[in-house]
Chains A and B, each alone.
Chain A
Amino acid sequence: MSSFSIIKKYLGLSLLAIGFIYCIFVHFETVRKLKPAGRSDILIAHWQGERGCEEALQGIIDEYNELNPETHVRQQVIIGMGSSYLRWCVTQIIGGDPPDIMEYHQGFRSYLSNYFIGLEKYVNAPNPYNKENELKDTPWKDTFYGGMFANFESELMDYYSIPNTLYTQRFYYNKEIFRRATGSDKAPQTMVEFNEICNKIKNIGVMPVVIENAKGVTAVYLFNALLSQIGWTIENEIDYNHDGLNQAGEFMRAFFLDDYQLSSPQFNAALDLLFEFSRNWGDGFNAIDNTIAPFLFIQQKGACYFGGSWLGRQMLDSCDFELGSFPLPLITENDPIAGQYYDGPWGENTKGVGMSLAISRGPSEDAAADFLRFLTSKKNNTLFNKGPVWVPGVRGSEVHPAVEGFKPLIRGKMVSLGMNSSSYNTEIKRILQNFLGETYSKSQTIEEMARVYSESSVKDNLRGARYAWRRLLKVEEVRHRTEDDLLNADGAQDQAQLRARLVNIYETQVFGANSVFDIMGVAQQKENKRD
């Protein structure tokens, strides 16, 4: 065989082998660079592609890496908050190589117990990186607005993520237009004041308020905030177990057993308030969506724009005028429409905090928790949120002046009547759009709400109850595991601890099942009543 034919025969194979060897070399070189021997490597994955976020987080990572040469933290942004981020994370989790810290996604819930760590042992102790401020003795969880209430996974009896930022909604406003129309740029405090200012703005030919209601979400939010100020008494009427909350089963019971009608004076008054206010929203608000509304405001075609704190950086960079912000004004006792029913302000004291980060199981758990402590110290939470101009989640952190008005309002109550169900939540948007667009009268609106609730709530709530039941059955497994541990425990101290944990699990199981039982019981009674 000639040398040419040998080369010809093995050339392809040789190239393949060289390519393969090169890939292996590149792989190990990358691994060596990312995970140098003797150094703990922590990868954070998140989906926050908003302007300023990645850079701000990197600044904090760099400082941490400098302070901790034995640890190397890095971040990876997976753009696309929904499916793509979740798919990527789940692939990593199942593949056995998850990032050490992952931004929490609802889709993680079924993976939490096996692939993530419970954070109770960390969050009940003070954050050492707060040692030089007033939070030095406060448990880590209580350093956040809402006390990490929203981060508690009730079926697993533990906290599985650490929050970072807060998302609130306010009116951005153009101070120059306000001055031109009213002689002052003072933000309104009451709904009466707000409506008066809007009338003055109309007189100079500017749209007073830009509202995006194409999806119907904004009107529902505003309706709830208005009802929350006059709804404390309704709650007392239908809160059968007097826990200060209205569960779905309680509203079903009140509605179907005729203890409460939607035609109540407070419900009527909330609709009147919303209608009156919507006369200031400019033409076609039901067709304006979030791709148009901010531009109308930025182009100074509207004096106010109702939007979220997450738009802070974009608004700041885009507006060529003096920008301010204020929350939805209060009704107060002097309101001509609803003053007689006024109970108190709406509030955000239970507001959940966003961009929560969870820690995956692995050798770097403690190091990852330490980095999260560093990230959520009062000082660093201020720095981090300044980047994208967000509202910090840690109490007492400084807020960027542009979003000062977006700070959570720790006051009053956000009333929920427990009417929510998947069909009703969809339909109420349509119903309110028709009401505000004057297709439905107020009485038609109430009738339509009652009809939709009557037709859909039982089926929807039973589905919800079955889902809640399934989640409670997951607690059953946690209890089973604890019982196994108790059977095998040696010391009296271990046994006492496990017994206490068992009682704690029982509290969750028994307490959690009550709302399921209520829905099933009311559904049955409704059937009996109809028969």
Chain B
Amino acid sequence: MKNNGLIKMKTLFVIITLLVTTNLWAESVDLKYYRSKELYNQGAAHCQKLLLKTTDKQKRKEILIELAACYHFNTRDQTYQEAVETYQQLIKEYPSDPLCARFYFYIGRCYDAFSRNRPQDIDKAHKAYRACFEKYPESQWADQAYLWLANSYIFKSSIKNAKMSAETFEGFLKRYPKSMLVGIAHSQLSELYCAWLKDYVATVKHSEAALAWGIENVNLRRLHLYRLGYVYQYKLNNIPKSLQWYKQLITESPTQSDPNYFVVVKRVRELEAELEGAK
């Protein structure tokens, strides 16, 4: 009997120790630990637990931001609605915080992500983007919000949507001529004018501007180089310009691994022969 009591006491002690240490460990885990392992649900639960215990305002803001991120990037469970609510809570609790521009921006991003399944949310995304650049015109998220606003008009490509999108991108270039995203705006304008609006003069203008701005992405550079060569050759009948861009594409593909490398080589040969014949 006495032994039995001792065993029960020991078991109880072990359980209490385990509970305390597990809980202590859980609390000591870095705020972003779960998200770094893509364990978004556990991350959200961890933040919720910490929120109950935190009274410090600054700490609470950090936890809420992490909670919103856990919901925002949980693409598997698509917890965007929860993310939007958390960003809204942040705006409500910290209305004068400069990060509010970012919270509006991310509300827009969440609704934008949503809109693939729920097209009605695209208007909510527009509203949030507008709130970001209208309320915080000097913030670092203002130009980003404007760019996404322009891009979201073509979320279902058509001539009508392309027109609206192109107008907004042109507005972006006027409003933010020094933005780091100018090259991307030119790039998208070239795409819209080429694929949907069939304005080939505008197409080459914006492709050239995008390349001059310094597009880094290899695929995007390749796309513009080929497009310039093709449009100058077949749509604008400007052979010297066409040759210039085709040759640039050849130069920028040292391993000849561009899908159109040899097509372009053939065209250059033919165009040069044509020019030679004309002489």
Looking at B109, B147, B156, B194, the one whose CB has the most chain A CB atoms below 10 A away is: B156
B268 within 8 A of partner (CB): no
The reply on A136 being an interface residue by CB < 8 A is no
Residue numbers in B under 8 Å from A411 (CB-CB): 262
Contact of A504 among B72, B158, B217, B234 (CB under 8 A): B217
| Across-interface contacts of B256 in A (CB, < 8 A) | 349, 410
Cβ contact within 8 Å between A511 and B156? no
The answer, yes or no, to whether A264 is at the interface (CB within 8 Å) is no
Tally chain A residues at the interface, Cβ within 8 Å. 61
The interface bits of chain B over 29-69 (1 if a CB of A lies within 8 angstroms of the residue's CB, else 0) are 00000001110000000000000000000000000000001
Q: How far is the CB of A489 from chain B (nearest CB, A)?
A: 12
Known pairs A474-B75, A517-B156; A503 contacts B187 (CB<8 A): no
A404 within 8 A of B: no
Contacts of A465 in B (CB 8 A): 116
- Is the beta-carbon distance between B180 and A503 smaller than 8 angstroms? yes
Q: Is the CB of B234 within 8 A of A236?
A: yes
CA A516 – CA B231 in complex, angstroms? 24
Q: Which residues of B contact A413 (CB under 8 A)?
A: 259-260, 262-263
Q: Mark B136-165, 1 if CB is under 8 A from A, else 0.
A: 000000000001000100111110010000
Query: Which candidate, B14-22, B89-97, B170-178, B220-228, is the interface stretch facing chain A?
Result: B220-228
Quick check: which of A25-33, A143-151, A273-281, A374-382 contacts chain B, the rest being far away? Answer: A143-151
Interface size on B, residues (CB 8 A): 52
- Asked whether A9 is an interface residue with its Cβ less than 8 Å from the other chain, the reply is no
Within 8 A of B (CB), among A116-170: 138, 142, 144-147, 149, 154
- B188 interface residue (CB < 8 Å to A): yes
A114 at the interface (CB under 8 A from B): yes
| Contact call B157/A412, Cβ cutoff below 8 A | no
Cα distance A395–B257 in the bound complex, in angstroms: 12
A232 at the interface (CB under 8 A from B): yes
The complex places the Cα of A154 from the Cα of B217 at a distance, in Å, of 10
Report how far A476 CA is from B68 CA in the complex, Å. Answer: 14
Task: Find out whether the CB atom of B154 lies under 8 angstroms from the CB atom of A476.
Answer: no
**Which chain A residues in 145-198 approach chain B with CB under 8 Å?**
145-147, 149, 154
Query: Are A477 and B73 in contact, with the CB atoms below 8 A?
Result: yes
Q: How far is it, in angstroms, between the C-alpha of A208 and the C-alpha of B117 when the chains are bound? A: 54
A44 within 8 A of B: no
A242 to chain B: which residues have CB within 8 Å? 194-195, 226-227, 230-231
Chain B residues near A507 (CB, 8 Å)?
A: 183-184, 187, 215-217, 220
A218 to chain B, nearest CB (A): 23
Q: Which residues of B contact A412 (CB under 8 A)?
A: 262
Q: What are the residues of chain B within 8 A of A473 when measuring CB–CB?
A: 73, 75, 113
Query: Complex Cα distance A474/B40, Å?
Result: 13
> Is there a chain B Cβ closer than 8 Å to A434's Cβ?
no
Closest to A249 in B: B157
B118 contacts the other chain (Cβ, under 8 Å)?
no
The listed residue with most A CB atoms (<10 A of its CB), out of B180, B220, B254, B257, is B257
Q: Are A510 and B151 in contact (CB under 8 A)?
A: yes
CA distance A470 to B116 in the complex (A): 10
| CB atoms of B157 and A146 under 8 A apart | no
Is A502's CB within 8 Å of the partner chain B? yes
Chain B: minimal CB distance from A416 (Å): 9
* Minimum CB–CB distance for A138 against chain B, Å: 8
**Which of B75, B154, B157, B226 neighbours the largest number of chain A CB atoms within 10 Å of its CB?**
B157
Is B23 an interface residue when CB atoms closer than 8 A count as contact? no
Which residues of A are found within 8 Å of B191, using beta-carbon distances?
241, 514
Task: Report yes or no: A480 in contact with B73, Cβ–Cβ below 8 A.
Answer: yes
Report B105-122 residues with CB < 8 Å from chain A CB: 109, 113, 116-117
Q: Which of A229-243 contact B (CB under 8 A)?
A: 232, 236, 240-243
Known: A149-B257, A507-B184, A517-B156. A476 touches B113 (CB 8 A): yes
- Using Cβ atoms and an 8 Å threshold, which residues of chain A touch B255? 142, 144-147, 395
Contact of A344 among B102, B157, B227, B266 (CB under 8 A): B266
Q: Which residues of B contact A350 (CB under 8 A)?
A: 257-259
Which 3 pairs from chain A and chain B are nearest by CB? A521-B157, A147-B255, A241-B195
CB pairs A–B below 8 angstroms (20 shown): A144-B255, A147-B255, A236-B234, A241-B194, A242-B194, A244-B260, A349-B262, A350-B258, A410-B256, A466-B116, A473-B75, A473-B113, A474-B75, A476-B73, A506-B181, A510-B187, A517-B157, A521-B156, A522-B157, A525-B158
A interface residues with partner B (beta carbon < 8 Å): 110, 113-114, 138, 142, 144-147, 149, 154, 232, 236, 240-245, 249, 344-345, 347, 349-350, 395, 410-414, 465-466, 469-470, 473-474, 476-477, 480, 483, 499-500, 502-504, 506-508, 510-511, 513-514, 516-518, 520-522, 524-525
**17 extra interface residue pairs, beta carbon distance < 8 Å, beyond A500-B216, A517-B154:** A114-B36, A146-B255, A147-B257, A236-B234, A241-B195, A242-B194, A244-B226, A249-B157, A344-B263, A349-B257, A349-B258, A413-B262, A476-B73, A483-B102, A503-B184, A520-B116, A521-B154
